[in-house]
Structure 1
C-alpha cells in the first residue's frame, strides 16, 4: 500500500513535498495553472522563456512570449507568492524554430513553428531545466489531457473541442508525457479558465488570447522570411497545370497551397487555386479546386504513441487531421519503417501541404496516437 494517497498530480506524497515547474507564457492559461497548483499547496516554480529580442517584443501586441508577457508572468508569480525565473532561449529558439521556418517556406512548404517550439524548446530544453531544478514534473497551460492507460500515460484530446491543442502536441514522446502535466485539459470551456483567474485575483484574468505566431507580427509570414532571407521573394510566373503562363507573382513565399484570393489573374472564368509551388523554377502552379484533392500522403519523422510498436502491423485504421482547423477523418496508415509511413485518406482532402503535420487519432474515443510530418505535397 502507498504511504500517502496520490495527489492531484499523481505522486504519492503531499503537495507541499511535490515540486512542479510551470511553463508560464504570461497568458491566462498558464497563469491559472500556476495559481491553482500554488493554492493546492504545491512547491511551484514559474519559468518564462525569452524567445526573441526583448526590445522588439515590447512594441508588439497579440502574440505570446513578448516582453509584456514576461512582465505579466512575473506579476502573477508575485501575486501568488512563488519564485519566477526568465530564461534566455533566444539562440536556441532561432536555431531550432525560426531558421527552419524560413527554410521550409523557401522550399515551398507550409511549416507549423508552434509544433517545433513545443518539440525542440519547451518539451526538450525547458523540460531538462525543470529536471535540473529537481522538479517532480512540469505543468503547462495547454488544452490537452494526460490519462493513465494500461501501458502507461496516454495523450487525449481536451474536453473542450474548441480549445483542443492536440494537433500541436502530437510529437510529445512517451518519455516526455511521463513527466508532463496538463491541468486545464478537463475544463469544459475557456470561460471556466477565466473564472478561475478572477477567483485567484490574477492581473491577467481579462487578457486577450494570443492569435499570431509569436515571432510573426500580424500574420505576415512573407515579411519575416524576407527579413531572415534577404532576396528570397524573387518574382516568377503563375502557370496552369499544362504550364501555360497566366501571370506573374512577386515571390513564391507569398503563396500557400489552396490559396484562391490575391492571385491577380482574374478573368479566367472558373475560380483557380494554388495547387503546387515550385521554388526551384519560381513558379506558382494553379488549377481547379478538384486538382487540390489528395488521397495519399507520405509522412516521416513519425512519433508513435500507441501501445504496440508502429511497424508491428501492416496497417493501422485511425482518424487523421491534416490541418489544425479540420476535423479528424478516417484513414489507413501503412508503416514503411518505424518513422515513415503512407497515409491513405478514405475520403480525399483539399489543400494538403508539405510541412504540415498529419496527426493520428484513435478511431473511437479521444486518444492521440501520434503523427508525422507531410514531406511532399502531392
Structure 2
C-alpha cells in the first residue's frame, strides 16, 4: 500500500485537563465517577484500559481543585462480561452513590447498563460504535464519546478509494452489533463510491477455522480485504489468512487498535487500521502524545490500545466540564450543559452534542500500518461521509 497522504495532517483538536498546582485542595463530600463494565471476561481487554484513562483524568481533576471544589473518586462494579449480571452490576453502581455511570464500549454489554443507570436518573457515558448507543437508541441521559462504527466502516471505504483499490473483499464478524454495523457501513459507502465488491463472507468470533473465508478470497479478484472483526477471534482469522498465503493488503476494524493481539499473527504483512488516536508517539495531537507517555510512566507499561484509555479520560473530562458549566452535578443541569457542547476539545478530539444527537461528528483518522518493525502512522483521513443519518 502506498503511504502517500490522502489528506493534510489535521490541526490540533485535543486537550488534557489543565492541572493547576496552585488550586485549592478539594474538600467536602466526593463526587463519584462510576464504572460498571466487563472488568473480567473478554470485554476486560477494552474496559480495563478505559478505567486507566478514567483514573488519570480523576487524578488531574483532584490536582486542579476537583469538580466544583469537591474531590472526585472512582467506584466500580464488574459484570464479568456476563449479560445475566449487567443489570445487577449497574444497579450496584448506583447504590454505591455514582453521580455518573461509565459503561462498556459495546452496545450489547454497555447498552443494558446505560438503560439501568438512566432508569435511576443517572447519566451514562459509553464509547460503543453502534448507532443505537445514544439519545435515540437508549434515551436522553446516554452520551457516546465514540463517533460511531458507521463512520469507521465508511472511512475504510473512502480510504481504499483514495488509494486506488477497486475490488474489496469484505469479512464481517456477526458476533457483535459493533462489527455488523461496521461491515454494513463499509459496503454501503463502497457502493456509493462506485467500488465493485469482489466478495463477502461472514465470520463468527471464536470460529476455529477460516477455511471458507480463505477459499472465497482465493476465488475472487480482490485487490484488498476488509476485516470487520475484533480480537481474540479476529486475530485468529488474520493469522489463518496470512498462514494460508493470502498476501493482499488488509484493512482491519478499529477494535484491533493497539498491539496486544499481534503475537497471535507473527507476520501481519501489509495491514492497516484507521483510528482516531495513535499511541506510538506520532499522533498529530501533542496532548495525546503526552497522555500516552504519562500512561506508560504511571502504569509501568505502554497502553494496550490508544482509543480506549483516551475514551476513558475523555468521558470523565466531559462530565467535569459539563458540571462546572452547570454549576451543579444534578442530572438535569449536567444534561443541559452537555446538550450545548459545541466543538469542545476533549482528549479524544472535538466533540459536539445536541438534545437530539449524542453521537459526535467523526474526528480525523490516523492510518496506522503494521507492516514492518513497529506500528506507525503513515497517513490521515480528515473527513468522512457517513451513510444514512449523520452524527452531530
Name the larger-Rg structure.
Answer: 1
Structures share fold, TM-score greater than 0.5 = no
- Structure with greater strand share of residues: 1
Taking structure 2 as the reference length, the TM-score comes to: 0.25
- Structure with greater helix share of residues: 2
